[in-house]
Amino acid sequence: MKNVLQHKGYTGNVQFDQDDMLFYGRVMGMKKAHIAYEGKTVDDLVKDFRDGVDDYLDMCVEEGREPEKPFKGTFNIRLDPELHKHLVVNALDEGMTLNAYVKSVLQRAVSEVHI
């Protein structure tokens, strides 16, 4: 994957601010916790990302609470009714539930991008 960092099950994006000549990012997939990081170099960025995740996990331990897990595996999607109907018909033709069919379509799409 391009422009992402991984550490202890957390994924962060990587962006670059040309005006400030600074790399920065944020851990993705979290609703409540916000972990941001930055660095003038790639090494600094990676270190700040890892330190941010580690600090968050340490804080959760100290406070006796469960860390938020990113990407819980569910999301809502809004479709136009005609597309929804076509997906249900295709799922039934494949002998699958709508959820299983959409999951298989998304897995194929992602594997084509080599993530």
SS3 state at 28: coil
Give the bridge partners for 37, in sequence order: 25
Q: Using the predicted structure, report yes or no on whether residue 114 has a pLDDT greater than 70.
A: no
- Both 16 and 45 in one domain: the answer is yes
The predicted-structure confidence for 3-49, as pLDDT tens digits, reads as follows 899 999 999 999 999 999 999 999 999 989 999 999 999 999 999 99
pTM: 0.74
Any domain includes 68: no
Any domain includes 11: yes
Q: What's the domain range around 17?
A: 4-63
The predicted-structure confidence for 43-101, as pLDDT tens digits, reads as follows 999 999 999 999 999 999 999 999 998 888 888 899 999 999 999 999 999 999 999 99
Any domain includes 36: yes
- Both 10 and 46 in one domain: the answer is yes
Q: Which residues contact 29 (CB under 8 A, 6 or more apart)?
A: 11, 70, 71
Any domain includes 15: yes
- Both 56 and 88 in one domain: the answer is no
